[in-house]
A = this chain, B = another copy of it.
Amino acid sequence: MLDLQSFETNLDRYAAEDLAGCLVLGSNGEAAVLEEAEKLVLVGAARRLTAGRTLLVGTGLESTQATIALTRKVADLGADAVLVLTPHYYKAQMTLDALRCHFAAVADAAPLPVLLYSVPAFTGLPFPAPLAAALAGHPRIAGMKESSGDIALLGRIVAQVPASFRVLCGSAPVIYPALCVGAVGGVLAAACCAPGPVAALYRAFASGDHERARRLQAALTPLSTAVTSAHGVAGLKLAMDVAGLKGGHVRAPLRPAPASLREELAGLLREAQAAV
């Protein structure tokens, strides 16, 4: 069951932070295990609570037509843009051409801006660098979230697309170097539990204070690694609990984080906050 009250509490808290907006139904939002009806409830609630901010919604599914259908529904609910995951079940067939056709079909049918979303840690599928360039000219494809952590790939993508195609980094342990090579922002799980330090890093970079950005990166990396690759969604939710937000349960097959992790996360959160 959804815990909508906690969801709204979190969104209220984020509204007080220096964030450009929110992503709902991302990988760490457990989109992979939510029913469609639940997804729509969450989007509706999020729209009410993010007035004046960007509401980005994950709508990527394995099927092109199902992705289009969900995209239209969240557009009706007032989403500002959708984040469309690379389909990945039929990996060997997800060629550059197949992916290009998928994203183009979704964008053709989408009544709102589309961002591509590549996250090989979950999909097992690398992002072909020329794909971004092949799609950057589509009037409704606004950019992408690149979550591989591969800065050389991110740099190659930035080099091949016009400035109108906005490359966002999805990997907090490399957000500062990603900004250095041309990412224009980030969509980061770490911001769920530590929005302050993440926003501070972005502001430091934007103001040209590289030394401060680097220091904030060093302070954020252990926390962000803990709440993603090391402990996953359950780690992130526990870190939110520790930070005074509402993390709550994970849905099976994900398993709860061990209680013993709480102290470690508290320490990492303190370190990240201390660097601000």
Which single member of B182, B208, B229, B251 contacts A92 (CB below 8 Å)?
B229
Which single member of B98, B177, B180, B182 contacts A254 (CB below 8 Å)?
B98
| CA of A46 to CA of B95, assembled, Å | 32
- Asked whether A122 lies within 8 Å of B254 as measured between CB atoms, the reply is no
Asked whether A93 and B180 contact (CB < 8 A) given A63-B33, A98-B253, A221-B152, the answer is no
> Interface code A161-205, partner B: CB below 8 Å = 1, 0 otherwise?
000000000010110111011100000000000000000000000
- Asked whether A155 lies within 8 Å of B89 as measured between CB atoms, the reply is no
Oligomeric state, in copies: 4
| CA of A210 to CA of B102, assembled, Å | 37
Which single member of B62, B155, B159, B217 contacts A155 (CB below 8 Å)?
B217
A98 to chain B, nearest CB (A): 5
Which residues A220-235 have CB closer than 8 A to chain B? 221-222, 225, 229, 232-234
Q: Which residues of B contact A234 (CB under 8 A)?
A: 93
Which single member of B64, B87, B182, B251 contacts A65 (CB below 8 Å)?
B251
> Interface code A66-104, partner B: CB below 8 Å = 1, 0 otherwise?
100000000000000000000101111111011101100
Chain B, residue nearest A122 (CB): B89
Which single member of B35, B63, B92, B121 contacts A232 (CB below 8 Å)?
B92
A contact face: mostly helix, strand, loop, or mixed: helix
- Asked whether B66 lies within 8 Å of A33 as measured between CB atoms, the reply is yes
A203 to chain B, nearest CB (A): 16
A99 to chain B, nearest CB (A): 7
A89 to chain B, nearest CB (A): 4
- Asked whether B27 lies within 8 Å of A89 as measured between CB atoms, the reply is yes
- Asked whether B92 lies within 8 Å of A121 as measured between CB atoms, the reply is yes
- Does residue A143 face the partner (Cβ distance < 8 Å to B)? no
Sampled A-B contacts (18; CB under 8 Å): A32-B62, A34-B63, A102-B252, A149-B151, A151-B177, A152-B174, A152-B225, A159-B218, A159-B221, A159-B222, A177-B177, A177-B178, A177-B181, A180-B210, A181-B214, A182-B214, A208-B210, A210-B210
Q: Which residues of A contact B (CB under 8 A)?
A: 27, 32-35, 62-66, 87, 89-95, 97-99, 101-102, 105, 121-124, 149-152, 155-156, 158-159, 171, 173-174, 176-178, 180-182, 208, 210, 214, 217-218, 221-222, 225, 229, 232-234, 251-255
